[in-house]
Amino acid sequence: MSAGDSTIRNEPLQIDDITVIDKGKVKKAVTAAALGNAMEWFDFGVYGFVAFALGKVFFPEASPSVQTIAALATFSVPFLVRPLGGVFFGVMGDRFGRQKVLSATIILMAVSTFCIGLIPSYDSIGLLAPILLLLCKLAQGFSVGGEYTGAAVFVAEFAPDRKRGFLSSWLDFGSIAGFVLGAGVVVVLSSILGEARFLEWGWRVPFFLAAPLGLIGLYLRHAAEETPAFTEQLERMEKEDQDAVGSAPRISFKEIVGRYWRSLLACVGIVLVTNVTYYMLLTYMPTYLSHNLHYSEDHGVLIIIVVMIGMLFVQPVVGWASDRVGRRPFIAAGSLGLLVGAVPAFHLITSGNIGLIFVGLLLLAVLLNCLIGVMASTLPAMFPTRVRYSALATAFNISVIICGVTPTAAAWLVEVTGDLMMPAYYLMAVALVGLLTAWLMRETANRPLRGDTPNASSRREARELLQQAYDHIEASVGDLDVQIEGLQAKIDDLQQRKQVLVDRHPDLV
């Protein structure tokens, strides 16, 4: 705990200072956050898998290659407004609470996604069609700016310290499940309707499904309670200053950068390596398989669906294991795997053999699991409660601007160079960032969130955590005693040197 993280305690830590989290509340919080995240990534999944159709519907006069790049660019442009959404919803989340803001983000996400299905084609209204598509995507980008980070904070603040990795991993389980659902809907519709009717109106149906999904997510989030950490923060503010309750945290972004620069850099590094890999595999790869490797759209999508279903089983296992061995080993392993395995994986993907293609994609998927399995539990632990949402949302979404151009950049690089290995080189570059981040970051597993008191899942676990806290305090006091002794020796040495000089001066004796 650093200075300024929370009010300094002058009394001994007691058993009642450790929050025992109700299992029912944890389950409700995880479900509400994961379902909302699933809806967010349902849209991203649908958009990636129907990019070929959107290119023909909204950019019909362009060549097939330009159609694909234009459709993917429309996917990437909204990432430019995500930092604005992150700052706005982050400040609101630190001011009014996580639960209220998450209810607002899911409404905006559902409405903007639903509206995409209503946009007429280019043949009907001309240039206005792609403009309306871009506006809807910008609204999505703004809402998503507060969605993932808010959900990660929400789950992390509810989770017991010893289970935070496992419980937070379900957040990205929701992401993958949303992708699977989106992809599955696209495959079923295109198979039943055929390409002509799918291009005519079938592509709209997946976007219309956002409405019922959004209502379900809104109900669950509205029913969930505010997190214990934020409630405790409000109680501290009430004791310090009644007028401070409901006001924005009195700390500027400049102060956040100055005080938490190491956490911000670690956040940026983790987000870059994780999300670039995410978008490369789950958003760009269907287009890569169909456009560059000339597989049918349905064939390529089916392969990705099978890979993602496999990821669903691995995701909670990684989260569970990270509670035992730590988060850093998984970030390092995933990054190192990408560095040495990206090129071999793409050689398998471009081999023309279905079995080898699947193995190549599965290799990338397992490495991605190593990263997303720990991201949601790692990031919120880096910042104290009063700035956790705003600081994390800002850093996360600035990083995501770079990540969001991944599908467009990869498609453009392959088109310009004619080299099918360009996506692999792209992944190797971000893998270096991941390795550096894993080396520099602090371990957060099995520790309280920064500046917070410990969370336990039972009274017995609370007593164990209290003893661990006492042991840590004793060890820290011992370390400080050693440091004080070292400083005292230096002070004595300086005093002796001073006295030697004083003795040599007649007026100072």
Classify residue 8: in a domain, yes or no.
no
pLDDT surpasses 70 at 97? yes
Summarize the confidence of residues 88-98 as an average pLDDT. 81
**What pLDDT, in 10s, does the model give residues 437-461?**
999 898 988 888 887 778 877 788 7
Contact in structure between 233 and 385 (CB atoms under 8 Å): yes
Contact indicator for 335, 273 with CB cutoff of 8 Å: yes
| Strand spans (E) along 140-216 | none
* Tokens 């988060």 belong to residue: 327
- Specify the pTM: 0.78
Is residue 396, in this structure, part of any structural domain at all?
yes
- Looking at residue 78, what DSSP letter applies? G
Question: In this structure, which long-range contacts are made by residues 292-300, counting pairs with CB atoms below 8 Å and at least 24 apart in sequence?
Answer: 292/414, 292/420, 293/349, 293/350, 293/352, 293/420, 297/49, 297/52, 297/190, 298/187, 298/190, 298/191
The pLDDT of residue 125: 85
Band of residue 76 on the pLDDT scale cut at 50, 70, 90 = low
More confident of the two residues 326 and 56: 326
Q: Are 69 and 414 in contact (CB under 8 A)?
A: no
pLDDT greater at residue 174 or residue 248: 174
Lowest pLDDT segment from 85-99, 354-368, 410-424 = 85-99
DSSP per position, 260-300 = HHHHHHHHHHHHHHHHHHHHIIIIIHHHIIIIIS---HHHH
Distance CA 18, CA 335 (A): 35
The answer on 473 and 401 residing in a single domain is no
47 has a pLDDT exceeding 60: yes
Read off the pLDDT of residues 376-387 as tens digits, 9 standing for 90 and up: 999 998 888 888
> Which range among 330-339, 363-372, 431-440, 492-501 shows the weakest confidence by mean pLDDT?
492-501
Residue 305 lies in a domain: yes
Asked, for residue 9, whether it belongs to a domain, the answer is: no
Calculate mean pLDDT across residues 357-372.
93
Q: Is residue 4 part of a domain?
A: no
Asked whether residue 199 falls in the same domain as residue 302, the answer is yes
**In the predicted model, what is the mean pLDDT of residues 404-411?**
83
The rounded distance, in Å, linking the Cα atoms of 294 and 357 is 13
Write down the pLDDT at residue 1: 42
Residue with tokens 């800002």: 394
Spatial neighbors of 71 by CB under 8 A, at least 6 apart, are 51, 52, 54, 55, 58, 59
Residue closest to 57 by CA, chosen among 119, 136, 139, 110: 119
How many other β-carbons are positioned within 10 Å of the β-carbon of residue 247?
A: 10
- CB burial readout 467-494, b (16+ within 10 A) else e: eebeeeeeeeeeeeeeeeeeeeeeeeee
- Do 87 and 226 lie in one domain? The reply is yes
Asked if residue 130 is part of any domain, the answer here is yes
Q: pLDDT-derived band of residue 7, with 50, 70 and 90 as boundaries? A: very low
Domain identity same for 452 and 468: no
39 part of a folded domain: yes
Distance of CA 252 to the CA centre of its chain: 23
CATH of the domain at 293: 1.20.1250.20
Task: Report whether 245 contacts 386 (CB < 8 A).
Answer: no
Other CB atoms within 10 A of residue 271 CB: 27
Cβ neighbourhood burial of 313 (10 Å; 0-12, 13-18, 19+): exposed
In whole angstroms, what is the distance from residue 53 CA to residue 185 CA? Answer: 14
Q: What is the pLDDT of residue 240?
A: 54
The predicted structure's pLDDT at residue 3:
38
Contacts of 240-245 with C-beta under 8 Å, sequence gap 24+, read: 240/7
- Residue 127: pLDDT above 90? no
Q: How many other CB atoms are there within 10 angstroms of residue 365's CB atom?
A: 21
* 249 to 106, 267, 388, 398, 463: CA distances (angstroms): 24, 21, 10, 21, 33
Same domain, 418 and 487: no
Residue 435: what residue type? L
Instruction: Write down which residue in 457, 473, 496 finishes a domain.
Output: 457
Mean pLDDT computed over 286-293: 82
Answer yes or no: do 215 and 293 share one domain. Answer: yes
Does position 237 have pLDDT exceeding 80, yes or no?
no
Of 342 and 54, the structure prediction assigns the larger pLDDT to 342
Angle at alpha carbon of residue 56, lines to 53 and 62, rounded to 5°:
145
State the residue for tokens 């029912």.
Answer: 24
3-state SS class at 455: strand
Which tens digits make up the pLDDT trace of 298-328?
Answer: 676 778 888 889 999 999 999 999 999 999 9
Q: Are residues 487 and 493 in contact, defined by beta-carbon separation less than 8 angstroms? A: no
Same domain, 189 and 324: yes
How much of the chain, in percent, has pLDDT values that exceed 90? 20
Query: In this predicted structure, what is the pLDDT of residue 326?
Result: 93
Whether residues 226 and 283 fall in one domain:
yes
Split into its structural domains, the chain has a count of: 2
Asked if 354 and 475 sit in the same domain, the reply is: no
Spatial CB neighbours of 301, under 8 Å, sequence gap ≥ 6: 49, 183, 186, 187, 286
pLDDT in tens, 134-180: 888 888 888 887 888 888 888 888 888 889 999 999 988 988 888 78
Domain that holds residue 84: 19-457
Task: For residues 407 and 496, state if they share a domain.
Answer: no
Greatest mean pLDDT among 84-93, 325-334, 481-490: 325-334
Residues 341 and 477 reside in one and the same domain: no
Residue 41: CA count within 13 A, CB half-sphere: 24
What is the C-alpha separation between 2 and 65, in angstroms, rounded?
52
| CA contacts within 13 A on the Cβ side of 94 | 25
- Which class for 307: exposed (0-12), middle (13-18), buried (19 or more C-beta within 10 A)? buried
Q: Which residue has the higher pLDDT, 241 or 108?
A: 108
Q: Is residue 3 part of a domain?
A: no
DSSP state of 129: H
Give dist(CA 322, CA 319) in Å, integer: 5
Highest mean pLDDT among 136-140, 329-333, 394-398: 329-333
Environment class of residue 146 by beta-carbon count within 10 Å: exposed (0-12), middle (13-18) or buried (19+)? buried
85 CB neighbour count, 10 Å cutoff: 25
The chain-wide mean pLDDT, for the chain, equals 82
Same domain, 500 and 398: no
Phi, psi of 202, deg, nearest 5: -65, -30
